[in-house]
Structure formats: structure tokens, C-alpha cells
Amino acid sequence: MEAKKISPQLLSPCISCGYCLSACPTYQITKDERSSPRGRISLMKEFNSGSIEVTNELFVEQSSFCLGCRACEPVCPAGVQYGALLEEWREITWTGKNLPLRIRGLRIAVTMTPIIRLLGRLRRVKRNTQKNAGQGSDFLMLGCVERVLYPQLSRVIAKRFPSIVINDDQGCCGALHSHNGAPNKGHEMALSLGQDLPGRIVTTAGGCAAHLSTEIGREKVIEFSEFVLEKILAGELTIESPIYIDGKIARIGLQDSCHLRNGMAVFQEPRQILAKLGTFIDMKSSKDCCGAAGTYAIMRPDDSTAVLSKKLVEIEAADLDFLVTLNPGCQRQLEHAPDLRKSKVRVLHLVELLELSLSTQTLEGSRQIR
């Protein structure tokens, strides 16, 4: 049987111009063409032409060194879909005995819906099943990681947006599979989640949002910052004033979600909301990957730390009170960064900062939180 190849129609648009090099975090670290998007595309073309084997060390290594952050996509004049290329590439290299054990374990874990549901219930994830919920309803997607690590997000959403249906009998969206060598299974899981949640799907995880919107349609998915802005514009949600800390308006920074920004072009929406919640500091590195990158921080901790280190200096210098994330993986990565743990900055998901603002307005009659 002929070995699987990477789709030529995905590879052929690349004109080798190199505009993507400066946007690529791994190239910025190594300054080595081979760890740039253009270098990786050349490797894929060499593999397709048969000049290198699937076991070629560089071919295998670069498929895992790449973060999958897709920062190379928006800067590419030829519209190369690098995220789709990487999914196919890892399907070829991360297979059989070459599939890393931890990835194998994670892939199995996220398909065990009853266990994920049980863990979520133990963590008191909010449930809010409503009668007559259907195509015209908004459903909250409960991400697998989020259910276990950040169950409070669902509780805030249930409290502030009671019309959203929160049904905990839902599976994983399949992003983990698609990004880690099993795109067909990832596609199948996204379709199944679309059936479990038949209306519009509200997500609080950037990686899941981008995957779902590719698989089941952009119109079916609304990311939390888009949802909040929609409510503000409709007059259904009001942020009366910014958050104050010790008499000063809070300084707020943002960690973009790579997939949200580079895959769905959602980056203005969280900025508009944060500008209402305090003084928004738009750092140059906000758009750069934090190194979490799905399973990357687990699989390549040293490279993940190297990517993160590049942005910590700017975060420290920005004198922030809050650093806001839009994705649980980024939140965990930044919460655990030793330099940030020592500093005054609090890492919060946008859901949590919004709740802090709304609760200090309504419960204490004051925006002073310290």
C-alpha cells in the first residue's frame, strides 16, 4: 500500500517568500530556517517527492517542535493553511509506535465522556439543562480540561447568562485529536458535539472554538468575548465603570489565544471588553504564543519555557494588575510561570475578570477591590 502523503493542494500555494519567518516563535528562538514555516513546508514537499523517508529524523522532529500556533497564517500572502498542513503531517509522523505515549493516553482520556462528566460533577461544574432547548438556543461548551481545572467558569456563566443551556452530557470537541495526529477522529468528534449541542455553541477555550468552527461551521460557534460584546451592544449587559485597585484604575493585559487570533481572527473583541474593565495595556507580545500550545507544554517543557520566557519580560515591565487569558491551556501556563507567581499580576480568564467587575459593582456598590 502506498504511504500516505500530505495533500499537494495544501502545499502548492507556498511561494517560498519567507514573510512567515519573523512571525514564527520557533524560528525566532533558533534562527534556523529548518524550524521556520517555510523550512517545514520544504521538508513536507521533500517527503511527498520521496526524497526523504517518514523516519527521517528532521522530518519527525520538526513536526513536534512546531507549536501549531498558526502565527504564520495571517502574515502569509499566499493564504497557506499551515494548521491543516500540520494536522496531516502529525498524522503521518505520530502513528503506530511513534505515537508518544502521553498523547496516546490523552487521546483515550478525552473520549471517555462518562468519566469526564463525573470529574466535572465532582468539581461542581454548573448544569443548567432547559426544556425546549434546540436550534435557536445558545449552549455552553464544557471543555475537557476546563471542566477539571476551571469549573468556576461554568458557574459564572450560569449566573450571569442564565439563558445559556449548560448540558454536561456532552463529549470532547476533538481538537486534541486533530492537533495530535488523529484528524479524522477529531472531525468525527466535532460533528458529534455539534449534534449534542444543536444551537449556537458558546466557548471559553480558544483552541476548541477554532477547531469547532472549522469542522461544523463558523456560524455555529461564538467565542465568549464575541458573546459578551453582542450582549453589550444589545443593551443586555452593562459594564458601569472600570475596576479600581487601591484607588487606581486596574491595569489589564491580555494573552491572545493563538487559534482564536490566527484561526478565527478574534482579537479585537476581547480588547474592546478589557478597555471597559480597566486601563488596557496592549503589549507587543500579547499576540505571541505563550508556549502552552495544547499538549506542547507537556511534551516539550523546555521549548515551551523558552517560548514563554520571551514574553515574561514585557509582562513584568507593563506593571499589570491582571493578565487575562481566553483559553485554559494559556491560563495554566501563565499561572505556573515562576516569575509571574512572584509578581503582583493575577492571571484570570476573561470570564473571571468580568465577574469580578460585575460583582464589585453590584454587591459592594463600589469598584474598589483592595
Task: Provide, rounded to whole angstroms, the least separation between the CB of residue 34 and ligand SF4.
Answer: 11
- CA–centroid distance for 26 within its chain: 18
Residue-wise over 158-195: b if at least 16 C-beta within 10 A, else e?
A: bebbeebbbbbebbbbbbbbbbbbbbebbbebbebbbe
Task: Provide, rounded to whole angstroms, the least separation between the CB of residue 273 and ligand SF4.
Answer: 26
**23: how many CB neighbours lie within 10 A of its CB?**
21
Cβ–Cβ < 8 Å for 17, 80: no
Task: Provide, rounded to whole angstroms, the least separation between the CB of residue 215 and ligand SF4.
Answer: 19
Q: Which is nearer to ligand SF4, 16 or 51 (CB)?
A: 16
Task: Provide, rounded to whole angstroms, the least separation between the CB of residue 289 and ligand SF4.
Answer: 7
Q: Which is nearer to ligand SF4, 36 or 331 (CB)?
A: 36
Q: Which is nearer to ligand SF4, 293 or 350 (CB)?
A: 293
Give 128's Cβ-side CA count (13 Å radius).
21
Q: At what angle do helices 101-110 and 113-122 cross, to 10 degrees?
A: 80
Binding site for ligand SF4 (CB under 6 A): 14-20, 23-26, 37-38, 40-41, 66-72, 76, 78, 80, 82
Task: Provide, rounded to whole angstroms, the least separation between the CB of residue 306 and ligand SF4.
Answer: 12
Task: Provide, rounded to whole angstroms, the least separation between the CB of residue 21 and ligand SF4.
Answer: 7
Q: Which is nearer to ligand SF4, 32 or 240 (CB)?
A: 32
Q: How far apart are CA 235 and CA 120, in angstroms?
A: 33
Q: 248 to each of 101, 199, 279, 319, 326, how far by Cα in Å? A: 49, 42, 10, 13, 25
Task: Provide, rounded to whole angstroms, the least separation between the CB of residue 65 and ligand SF4.
Answer: 8
φ/ψ of residue 60, rounded to 5:
-70, -45
Q: Which is nearer to ligand SF4, 100 or 194 (CB)?
A: 100
Q: Which is nearer to ligand SF4, 8 or 18 (CB)?
A: 18
Cβ–Cβ < 8 Å for 288, 306: no
Cβ–Cβ < 8 Å for 36, 26: yes
Q: Which is nearer to ligand SF4, 18 or 301 (CB)?
A: 18
Provide the 3-class DSSP secondary structure of residue 202: strand
Length reported for the chain: 370
